[in-house]
Amino acid sequence: MSTLLSFILAISILVVIHEFGHFWVARRCGVKVLRFSVGFGKPLWSYTDKLGTEFSIAPIPLGGYVKMLDEREAEVKPEEVHQAFNQKTVWQRITIASAGPIANFIFAILAYWSLYVTGVSGLVPVIGTVDQDSPAYEQGLRAGDRIVAVDDESVDSFQEVSWQLISYIGETTQIPLTIEGGNQIQRRVIFPIESWLTDQEAPDPMKALGIKPRLLPIEAIIGQVLEGGAAQKSGLMTGDKVTELLVDDFTHEINDWRDWVELVREHPNQTMELFIQRTASNGELQQIKVQLTPRVKTVENGKIIGHVGAGIDPAAIPEIPKNWI
């Protein structure tokens, strides 16, 4: 849903800029604009200014249009003929018609310029965890190390690290990383690769090396419980804090929401025991044990995961420190 809304917002911005280009130049050339519409269909909202232009927002956000006075489309009052689009010179008509694309082009230049000036923030590439027996672990990378460069190209965020690593997919070569440890001494490590990640449908270079970003811990506090889901059936309630999880005869300490989610996803249709903290109505902290069986959910590529129908408490998400970005 959020992706769809972002798409609609992006399209709407481009439409407004494009149509405003036509609108602005048309008025400067003395053409009467009858309607400036964002979207198609019956207007949801409209307003007419003192010059007679109707501004409207319509429900189908797939475009927009600027309707101008034109003798070829409808009868025009004699006193308004001089404001008709078809009465303007050839160069004026060409300028009005091309103003929309030009406005989008100018907007693109300004957008890229602002990104260049302000920069795009992201998580500083400090390693949070390194998987044991992974290529990164074998090369001596540890939590707290910072990735300074990939193939001598400096990187300032994990996004930049990922972009650099993606370019190596399918290659048979070596990946050189420049690493800075806690002692601020830099060293160079080499990762030999052969037809790298070509056997994976969804290659993840960071995961392949065994590197995970430094992340702030998020307490496993339940923020919402979906009606009819496995979490509700087990008796989980909003505000419960998951502290331990027993599955496969092993008790996992839960210090982070991501730990709990990963264990749930890895054990579909398998009963587990949760140890939770719950605040009673009198304010007393209770220790409760519940049984939970994640339901089977099929995701992309036919992969099966566990799903319980519980969401995170937004209040448990900490603010990222400024020196982390």
Q: Catalogue the active-site residues.
A: 19
Residues in the chain: 325
H helical segments located in the chain: 2-28, 90-118, 135-138, 158-166, 205-209, 230-234, 257-266
CA distance 133 to 31: 71
C-alpha–C-alpha distance, residues 173 and 129, integer Å: 25
> Could you give the CA distance from residue 14 to residue 2 in angstroms, rounded to a whole number?
18
- Give the Å distances, CA to CA, from 10 to 118, 158, 324: 20, 25, 28
Return the DSSP state at 193. Answer: E
The residue type found at 325 is: I
How far is Cα 73 from Cα 52, in angstroms, rounded to an integer? Answer: 18
Distance of alpha carbon 149 from alpha carbon 174, whole angstroms? 14
**In 119-270, which ranges are continuous DSSP H helix?**
135-138, 158-166, 205-209, 230-234, 257-266
Q: In DSSP terms, which residues pair with 147 in a beta bridge?
A: 179
Asked whether the beta carbons of 182 and 214 are under 8 A apart, the reply is no
